[in-house]
A and B are shown apart, each in its own frame.
Chain A
Amino acid sequence: MFEGAIQDLIDELGRLPGIGPKSAQRLAFHLLQADDADVARLVSALQRVKELVRFCATCFNVAESEECRICRDPRRSDESICVVEEPKDVVAIERTGEFRGRYHVLGGAINPLEGVGPDNLRIRELMARLASGEIKELILATDPNTEGEATATYLALLVKPMGIAVTRLASGLPVGGDLEYADEITLGRAFEGRRAV
């Protein structure tokens, strides 16, 4: 244990995700020795992110105004919504350049172990958007793990009766990769999940 301010900093840093006590200590001493100007820039970046960045009122992506850049873009289609867990998933899908519709960020996935149920996600808000009648397709792009799959199934059960087409991202072999380099599990699964062409 150190005294006062330095220990406070170590404690605060240690509360960040992915940072253990040792890393927190290293970061704290790095900051202690850094130029004043560098630290000032970090402090202002932290303050600005809290002041300026908020969640889009429509899709809950990160935004610097009432609505995010994507929701404000008139060139994008209002007919399809892609549902993701986190804002970083929006960035990942945007990088593909394949999707020209809108997004909806749930803020996580159904996870009983962590006490996350449908009420803790922005599902009610999604349903309100779908009720407008304009949307024709809902793309479920939650993570391909247990919780993401459960969330996708839950949404599909809710939305299908509304007459909206519901699709799920395909998972399996990475396209562009060589079959021989796929691990046994991925390849085995892809084999099981094969479909007629």
Chain B
Amino acid sequence: MYVRRLELTDFRSYSRAEIDLDPGPSVIVGPNGYGKTNLVEAMGYVATLSSHRVSSDQPLVRVGAERAIVRCAIVHDERELLVELEIVPGKANRARLGRAPVTRARDIVGALRLVLFAPEDLALVRGDPAERRRYLDDLLVQRQPRYAGVRADYERILKQRNALLRTAYLARKVGGTGGRTGDLSTLDVWDSHLAQHGADLIAGRLDLCAALGTHVAKAYDAVSAGRGEARVGYDARSWLESGQVSLDRVAIAERLGEALSAARPSEVERGVTLVGPHRDDITLTLGEMPAKGYASHGESWSLALALRLAAFELLRGEGIEPVLVLDDVFAELDTGRRDRLAEMVAAASQVLVTCAVEADVPRLLAGERYVVGEGEVRRGR
């Protein structure tokens, strides 16, 4: 799969940009703050309906404009598919697939498969569990789009359940909020739905973690030239105190249900849901030590990179080869790691590399060249 053309209107710093792209490696070069990341962010948004940098849509729309439009021509199996996305902050996105509008923007998920590595990914190793959950869930959705629904349902159920607990909590503390009572008679219902949908999500994550394991180890080994073994594990800390994690959805739902019952007094006491996949984590280890808190800067960077490369390899191995984007990755790596990374990805169907200093990019990836200037992108030497 590759992106043949990208068109932006009022996206970030661009009032208008049109870029024709080729398969294989390409380098996008330009000074700091000229809009390299903005370009790849737009493609990432089409792939996942979210930005890798911000959680709200407002910053994606050019200051002074009302809406941003991203258009992508995607080539897969020699067939071209046009995807158009209109981003209006505070409103639901509108999308088109081919020439036809789709009912929900999330129907376009899956049209563009893309794996993006960016400096923000250092947070996969050093940041909060939420970063790692997002990595896993985003990949889950790319691999099996059905999980977009599972994830949205789970989040909605969690929100409703939290609202119920919170109302009861406030009713107890201050004696009712605007006539709302602390009626917990529907809590059992929310528990069972949380357990069902939570188990669905967890089963997907566990399956994914298992599939990722060897890819992460291999990618880290390749980038680091054998300096330490990288491992990923699923940390079901909120609902499994000890013992083996079962892969079976029914068993997980049962276990979640038990954990919810056990946690109920403290949940009611604190007015928030303490059990479920929204509290889980992935453990990352290098050799015998946890990566977080122990790994060096370069090692953390390489591990974060290995997580993205593993995602790429996994998707590639299961059928549709995604587009690979490496945003500002080379400047942080030593020469050996740079060259080994280049070797790993040079054969990909499309690799887009951004950099401020062209000399940082290994020769092997010097394919087509794009120069980002003031608000425009030029192709050529």
Contact = CB atoms under 8 A, between A and B. Distances in A.
Interface in B167-221: 167, 178-181, 183, 185-186, 188-190, 192-193
Which interface residue of A117, A150, A185 has the most chain B CB atoms within 10 A? A185
A154 B153 contact: no
B157 A146 contact: yes
A153 interface: yes
B159 interface: yes
B146 interface: yes
B371 interface: no
Contact of B167 (A112, A119, A146, A153): A112
Interface stretch (B20-28, B39-47, B81-89, B105-113): B105-113
Contacts of A147: 160
Contact of A149 (B110, B183, B188, B193): B193
Nearest to A191: B146
Which interface residue of B102, B109, B180 has the most chain A CB atoms within 10 A? B180
Contacts of A157: 188-189
B160 A117 contact: no
Interface in B140-162: 144-149, 153, 156-157, 159-161
Contacts, number: 72
Given A146-B153, A146-B157, A154-B189, A185 B107 contact: yes
A35 interface: no
Interface in A140-184: 145-147, 149-150, 153-154, 157, 183-184
Chain A interface main SS type: helix
A185 B148 contact: yes
A183 B111 CA distance: 11
A153 B160 contact: no
Given A147-B160, A185-B149, A189-B149, A112 B186 contact: yes
B163 interface: yes
B164 interface: yes
Given A112-B167, A112-B186, A183-B107, A146 B156 contact: yes
A150 B160 contact: yes
A194 to B, nearest CB: 13
Interface residues of B, number: 32
A154 to B, nearest CB: 5
Nearest to A154: B189
A4 interface: no
B36 to A, nearest CB: 31
A112 B163 contact: yes
Contacts of A145: 156
Contact of B183 (A119, A146, A187): A119
Given A117-B185, A157-B188, A146 B146 contact: no
B109 A184 contact: yes
Contacts of B190: 112, 150
Contacts of B156: 145-146
Interface string A89-110: 0000000000000000000001
A135 B225 CA distance: 72
A145 B157 CA distance: 10
A153 B192 contact: yes
A192 interface: yes
B167 A115 contact: yes
26 contacts: A110-B186, A111-B160, A112-B186, A113-B159, A113-B160, A115-B167, A115-B180, A117-B186, A119-B181, A145-B156, A146-B153, A146-B157, A146-B193, A147-B160, A149-B193, A150-B186, A150-B189, A150-B190, A153-B189, A183-B107, A183-B145, A184-B107, A185-B145, A188-B144, A188-B146, A189-B149
Given A115-B179, A118-B185, A157-B188, 6 more contacts: A113-B159, A115-B167, A118-B183, A119-B183, A150-B186, A184-B109
Interface of A: 110-113, 115, 117-119, 145-147, 149-150, 153-154, 157, 183-185, 187-189, 191-192
Interface of B: 102, 106-107, 109-110, 144-149, 153, 156-157, 159-161, 163-164, 167, 178-181, 183, 185-186, 188-190, 192-193
